[in-house]
Chain A
Amino acid sequence: MAVQALDGTRVPIDWQRLAMPAVLIVVGYGLIPAYASSYLVEAILLPFLALSLAAVGLNLLTGYCGQLSLGSSAFMAVGAFAAYNFNLRIDGLPLPATMILAGISAAGIGVVFGLPSLRLRGFYLAVSTLAAQFFVQWALTKFGWFSNYNPSGVISAPHLIVAGFPLDGATGRYLLSVTTVIVLTAVVWRLVNSATGRNFIAVRDNETAARVIGVPVLRTKLLAFAISSFIIGVAGVLWAFTYLRTVEPAGFNLDRSFQILFIIIIGGLASMRGAFLGAAFIVVFPLLLSRIGAFAFGDLFDSGVLDMSQRIVLGALIIIFLIAEPSGLSALFDRLKRRIG
């Protein structure tokens, strides 16, 4: 049996490749909703899904297109606050439409702050994305309209309904989250394996050569900013609506942007799987560290010490991965699989 591949050649169906997604779907839609405790869902799966999606978005821009961004959480904030306002101000707007509009808003802001990438490279671009980080946070705090004049700038998630089904419970929010993540990840996966995705990589690997052979470099970069910001914006909606339920602008700070960058470094730049492995690591690692710390040091290991040792270990891991395994957990995973299979 064979199928038509993207490039037109006929390739045999690789059942092994299909096995993995099938298992994930059974687990994601069958086992987890049926058996997972609400702690597992609320404290681990929901942040994991939102951060994974944000990392998929950032990976598109930084991993595939080579444009370093330190402003991811600003785009998450734009998504979250846009969704809040669309939902608040347009009566009866369906939730999926709200999420798409929020993504488009984030994409618009992303393009604006991506414009400097047409002239700037590397660090200079990083500075531009930092400008986005600080400006967005400032604007959301300063102008009460964004939070419907809540005195502390806090927004709360609305009632979540899709096609008549209320999704406010832990399982409902999980299903909303997991479906969004699967759909958008599939879209991004198609994209990076298409000619457009190869343009991203061409711009990353050699911008001059890309321009000379006719890759529309400027358009490609802006497209990367737009799609990446769209995805990160929707991730922001998930973060605000399904995970935290109430957020304030200060929650989308520079540390969050760094966290998403760390996810793709640890998971593996330019790897779809890496975004998920990295996010899983970032979510689980502090929990593990606090258990291990409490076990080894007892009461000495208070939350302050936990916070500091978390920073140290995380920083060290970044450096170790950059030195020893630049392709991140994703490459480690591959090597492990080869050794076993």
Chain B
Amino acid sequence: MIGASLGAAAYERASEISAILAVANPVDDRRLARLSSRPDVVLALSGIGISFGGVKALSDVDLEVEVGEIRAVIGPNGAGKSSLINIISGLYHADRGRIAIDGQSFSQVPASRLARLGVARTFQNLALFGGLSVRNNIACGRVHTRRASFVEHIAGLPRARSEDAGIAEKTDQIVAFLHLESVADRLVATLPYGLQKRVELARALVAEPKLLLLDEPMAGMTATEKAEMAGFVRAARDRHGVTIILIEHDIGVVMGLSDRVAVLDYGRKIADGTPAEVRADPAVIRAYIGTAEGENGEDIR
């Protein structure tokens, strides 16, 4: 019944990879099938729900992301934005719902295959490899393309060398693209915060993903750094054609940068549309004013 509408091969592949633990819901699956069969949809979520210790972090969230767009997900603190990105990247397992990445459908995205599925991500709190140089951190972003074994590396056999050379070239391109030349050989742990954020972006971009998940890439940055980072994000889309999901707190940046915006509040999607539509949505205004009173105030306008 599930396989009927979903491509049988795709379904088989999905079930082979991840045991189907989530409750199968025919409605979700039909929705998902309709969306993920469209070639211009890179990512489709349907009916995603997850709870932690009885608290619902997300319930019944749908989201579809088209090729080449910058898709923002915003919402007050605790709205479930990070949970969403963690579900897409397979670090959390949704209690229900399905995720289709580039036509392949999953109930649980296998995190270890994420890179090969064409998805790269950055983390809200930096997740760099502190003991490696900037260049080596970035080079790690292409580790999923490596085939040579450790023996080939130790012996310096041709395949290992050519892999190294190819990755070094790609790394150099990204280093230049993100203006990291002057720090490329420094230990990443010794860089200031803003630059570390940029190295993380570089490590994600060097994988040449179809889909890039950015979890608050500008958190904690100064206004100048934010503008710079926004420029890099836009350039990454324009030049490399990568599709981007962007989670961000700074509403001003989001509205200027993204093509479409989804708004989460208390784990539900309350609005979805162009920045102008979302800005005018009464539910969004209510959600934000509601938190603005309680918290440090995030202005939607």
Do these two chains really belong together in a complex? yes
* A273: interface (CB < 8 Å): no
Q: B-facing mask of A202-220, CB < 8 A → 1, else 0?
A: 1011101111111111000
Which of B14-22, B40-48, B161-169 forms part of the interface with chain A? B161-169
Let me know if A214 and B116 touch, CB within 8 A.
yes
Let me know if B156 and A190 touch, CB within 8 A.
yes
Let me know if A202 and B129 touch, CB within 8 A.
yes
Cα–Cα, bound, A19→B130 (Å): 30
* B91: interface (CB < 8 Å): yes
Q: A-facing mask of B115-129, CB < 8 A → 1, else 0?
A: 110001101000111
* B207: interface (CB < 8 Å): yes
Give the residue of B121, B143, B164 whose beta carbon is less than 8 angstroms from that of A8.
B164
Let me know if B153 and A191 touch, CB within 8 A.
yes
Give the residue of A6, A201, A214, A217 whose beta carbon is less than 8 angstroms from that of B129.
A201
Cα–Cα, bound, A216→B90 (Å): 15
Give chain A interface residues in 270-310, CB to chain B under 8 Å: 270
Chain B residues with Cβ under 8 A from A191's Cβ? 150, 153-154
Q: When A205-B130, A213-B120 are in contact, do A6 and B164 touch as well, CB less than 8 Å?
A: yes
Cα–Cα, bound, A208→B89 (Å): 11
Q: When A7-B164, A190-B156 are in contact, do A209 and B114 touch as well, CB less than 8 Å?
A: no
Chain A residues with Cβ under 8 A from B154's Cβ? 187, 190-191, 194
Q: A-facing mask of B128-153, CB < 8 A → 1, else 0?
A: 11111000100111011010101001
Let me know if B150 and A196 touch, CB within 8 A.
yes
* B300: interface (CB < 8 Å): no
Query: How many inter-chain contacts with C-beta < 8 Å in the A-B complex?
Result: 103
Chain A residues with Cβ under 8 A from B123's Cβ? 209
Let me know if B150 and A213 touch, CB within 8 A.
no
Let me know if A215 and B91 touch, CB within 8 A.
no
* A199: interface (CB < 8 Å): yes
* A16: interface (CB < 8 Å): no
Chain A residues with Cβ under 8 A from B90's Cβ? 212
Chain B residues with Cβ under 8 A from A199's Cβ? 140, 143
Number of interface residues of B (CB under 8 A): 42
Cα–Cα, bound, A223→B150 (Å): 9
Q: When A191-B153, A191-B154, A195-B143 are in contact, do A213 and B131 touch as well, CB less than 8 Å?
A: no
Give the residue of A9, A196, A206, A210 whose beta carbon is less than 8 angstroms from that of B153.
A196
Cα–Cα, bound, A196→B147 (Å): 11
How close is B241's CB to chain A, nearest CB, in angstroms?
A: 20
Cα–Cα, bound, A215→B90 (Å): 15
Do most interface residues of chain A lie in helix, strand or loop, or is the interface mixed?
A: helix
How close is B173's CB to chain A, nearest CB, in angstroms?
A: 14
* B25: interface (CB < 8 Å): no
How close is B30's CB to chain A, nearest CB, in angstroms?
A: 30
* A256: interface (CB < 8 Å): no
Cα–Cα, bound, A6→B162 (Å): 10
Cα–Cα, bound, A209→B113 (Å): 13
Q: When A196-B150, A211-B111 are in contact, do A204 and B121 touch as well, CB less than 8 Å?
A: no
Let me know if B143 and A215 touch, CB within 8 A.
yes
* B190: interface (CB < 8 Å): no
Let me know if A6 and B156 touch, CB within 8 A.
yes
Cα–Cα, bound, A153→B113 (Å): 49
Let me know if B89 and A212 touch, CB within 8 A.
yes
Give chain B interface residues in 75-106, CB to chain A under 8 Å: 89-91
Let me know if B130 and A214 touch, CB within 8 A.
no
Give the residue of B116, B128, B150 whose beta carbon is less than 8 angstroms from that of A205.
B128
Cα–Cα, bound, A285→B4 (Å): 74
Let me know if B153 and A208 touch, CB within 8 A.
no
Let me know if A206 and B128 touch, CB within 8 A.
yes
Most B CB contacts (10 A, CB to CB) among A190, A195, A196, A202 go to A195
Most B CB contacts (10 A, CB to CB) among A6, A9, A187, A196 go to A196
Let me know if B129 and A194 touch, CB within 8 A.
no
Chain A residues with Cβ under 8 A from B203's Cβ? 213
Residue of A nearest to B153 (CB): A194
Cα–Cα, bound, A304→B112 (Å): 54
Give the residue of A6, A8, A9, A198 whose beta carbon is less than 8 angstroms from that of B132.
A198
Chain A residues with Cβ under 8 A from B143's Cβ? 195, 199, 202, 213-215
Let me know if A217 and B150 touch, CB within 8 A.
no
Residue of B nearest to A203 (CB): B129
* B160: interface (CB < 8 Å): yes
Chain B residues with Cβ under 8 A from A216's Cβ? 112
Residue of A nearest to B139 (CB): A198
Cα–Cα, bound, A307→B116 (Å): 56
Chain B residues with Cβ under 8 A from A7's Cβ? 139, 164-165, 167-168
B interface residues (Cβ-Cβ under 8 A, vs A): 89-91, 111-116, 120-121, 123, 127-132, 136, 139-141, 143-144, 146, 148, 150, 153-154, 156, 160-165, 167-169, 203-204, 207
Known A194-B153, A198-B132; 16 more pairs at CB < 8 Å: A8-B161, A8-B164, A187-B154, A194-B150, A195-B164, A195-B167, A199-B140, A199-B143, A202-B140, A210-B129, A212-B120, A213-B120, A213-B143, A213-B203, A217-B112, A270-B131
The 9 closest A-B pairs by CB, nearest first: A214-B144, A8-B165, A214-B115, A194-B153, A209-B127, A205-B129, A196-B150, A7-B168, A190-B154
Q: Can you list 16 pairs linking A and B with CB atoms under 8 Å apart?
A: A6-B156, A7-B139, A190-B153, A194-B160, A195-B160, A195-B167, A199-B143, A201-B132, A205-B129, A209-B129, A211-B111, A212-B91, A213-B143, A213-B204, A227-B150, A270-B131
